[in-house]
């Protein structure tokens, strides 16, 4: 079991786990370019965007507030312009540290000085594209271009805003701490049957057997498949001899946290670090072999996903061999979309389904 804990800790420390934060707040600054407005000049923009990620939907609601103070052409006048917009934001699948996005919505703008009848308050439609680039955990650089369409006094009164800001994500849940282990009392050196398993203390090799467990002649819990997990808690009672198992007695599968681009089996730089860590473990533990299994989400045809997952598993195997692990200690298999572990209708679920697992076997 110590070896199993070592593998899990190694894989966890080599990966950056992303929290599902509910809120994003982004102070922004940018520049507004006017279009078809005969009176106002281009001007700087300032504001803030607040996005809520708590809904189970591909579209995230966003509230944005923008302010600008443009001058009127050929005049000493200026105007305070406030824009309030409600948008639906769609974030595409993450590519490394880069997350593309698109948005569409509706808003309203007010103008403090309309310069006679040149301008007026009114509603507008907006649409935009952009991206977030990770800087640190829950902090990202956000870049956007937003086009705002408004029907003004003298025809269309449109604007193009280019924005940049720093996005701060927060509001995720903190996992509960693991319970403290309960120490078992030391056995009493007297005859009798203290654990009530039907075997006297004088011959009981396991004098603290939990009540209700079936035991052998030595008073120890039965373990038919010899995997170290007793029958009463073993959920996989026919595990082949030599397989490394988890606490439930089932074959241990380690998620290597390897990322692939869509329709690709090329391993990126961060994932190569994870492979190097696993190769180091394999070289330190020559008594184990490994089976590398590739999985996909269920988008695309089943036959295509099967082939893609096999290529991804073979690519990881080749890198392990390249890093010094003997080829005869590694097998590869592609499962395609046959073994999903999360809801494939969500972006987060699809990311969990696109995975590489390593199963360990004792030689």
Pair 224, 232: CB distance under 8 Å: no
Give the separation between CA 82 and CA 101, rounded to whole angstroms.
24
Question: 139-152 and 158-170 as β-strands: parallel, antiparallel, unpaired?
Answer: antiparallel
Give the separation between CA 55 and CA 57, rounded to whole angstroms.
5
Q: Identify the three-state secondary structure at position 350.
A: helix
Instruction: Delineate the domains of the chain, giving CATH numbers in brackets.
Output: 23-170 (2.40.160.20), 256-362 (3.30.1330.60)
The closest alpha carbon to 226, from 48, 65, 106, 362, belongs to 362
How many CB atoms neighbour CB 130 within 10 A?
A: 19
Q: H or E segment at 25?
A: strand 23-35
pLDDT at site 229: 75
pLDDT at site 266: 84
Give the separation between CA 278 and CA 258, rounded to whole angstroms.
11
Give the separation between CA 1 and CA 228, rounded to whole angstroms.
9
pLDDT at site 143: 96
Residue in the structure block whose two tokens are 């800790």: 9
Q: H or E segment at 155?
A: strand 155-156
pLDDT at site 7: 44
Q: Identify the three-state secondary structure at position 178.
A: coil
pLDDT at site 189: 57
pTM of the model: 0.44
Per-residue pLDDT of the chain (363 residues; tens, 9 = 90+): 444 444 443 343 333 334 478 999 999 999 999 887 657 888 999 999 999 988 888 999 999 999 999 887 777 778 889 999 999 999 999 999 999 999 999 999 998 876 655 677 889 999 999 999 999 999 999 999 999 998 866 667 889 999 999 999 998 776 667 777 777 776 655 577 767 777 777 767 787 777 767 777 677 777 777 777 777 767 676 666 666 666 666 666 777 888 777 777 888 888 888 889 889 988 988 888 889 999 988 888 999 999 999 999 999 999 999 999 999 999 999 999 988 888 988 988 888 888 888 888 777
Give the separation between CA 89 and CA 172, rounded to whole angstroms.
19
Q: Identify the three-state secondary structure at position 74.
A: coil
Pair 26, 141: CB distance under 8 Å: no
Strands (E), 37-77: 43-52, 59-68
Cα–Cα distances (Å) from 96 to 70, 135, 268, in that order, read: 39, 12, 8
Question: 122-136 and 139-152 as β-strands: parallel, antiparallel, unpaired?
Answer: antiparallel
């Amino acid at each position: 079991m110590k070896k199993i804990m070592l593998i899990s800790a190694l894989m966890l420390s080599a990966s950056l786990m992303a929290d599902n934060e509910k809120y994003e707040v982004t102070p922004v600054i940018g520049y507004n370019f006017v279009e078809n407005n005969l009176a106002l000049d281009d001007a700087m923009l300032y504001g803030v965007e607040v996005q809520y990620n708590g809904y189970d939907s591909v579209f995230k609601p966003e509230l944005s507030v923008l302010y600008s103070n443009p001058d009127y052409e050929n005049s000493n006048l200026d105007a305070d312009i406030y824009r309030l917009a409600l948008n639906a934001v769609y974030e595409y699948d993450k590519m490394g540290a880069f997350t593309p996005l698109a948005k569409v919505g509706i808003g309203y703008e007010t103008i403090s000085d309309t310069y006679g009848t040149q301008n007026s308050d009114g509603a507008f439609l907006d649409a935009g594209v952009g991206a977030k680039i990770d800087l640190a955990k829950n902090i990202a650089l956000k870049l956007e271009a937003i086009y705002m369409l408004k029907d003004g006094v003298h025809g269309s009164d449109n604007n193009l805003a280019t924005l940049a800001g720093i996005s701060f994500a927060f509001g995720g849940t903190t996992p509960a701490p693991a319970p403290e282990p309960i120490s078992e009392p030391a056995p009493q050196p007297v005859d009798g049957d203290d654990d009530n398993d039907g075997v006297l203390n004088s011959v009981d090799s396991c004098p603290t057997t939990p009540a209700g467990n079936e035991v052998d002649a030595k008073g120890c819990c039965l373990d038919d498949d010899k995997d170290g997990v007793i029958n009463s808690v073993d959920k996989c009672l026919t595990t082949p001899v030599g397989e490394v198992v988890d606490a439930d007695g089932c074959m241990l599968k380690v998620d290597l946290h390897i990322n692939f681009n869509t329709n690709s089996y090329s391993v990126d730089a961060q994932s190569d670090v994870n492979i190097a860590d696993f190769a180091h473990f394999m070289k330190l533990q020559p008594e184990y072999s490994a089976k590398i299994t590739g999985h996909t989400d269920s988008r695309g045809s089943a036959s295509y996903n099967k082939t893609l997952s096999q290529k991804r598993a073979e690519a990881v195997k080749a890198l392990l061999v390249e890093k010094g692990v003997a080829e005869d200690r590694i097998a590869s298999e592609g499962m395609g979309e046959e073994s999903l572990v999360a809801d494939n209708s969500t972006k987060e679920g699809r990311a969990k389904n696109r995975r590489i697992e390593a199963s360990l076997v004792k030689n």
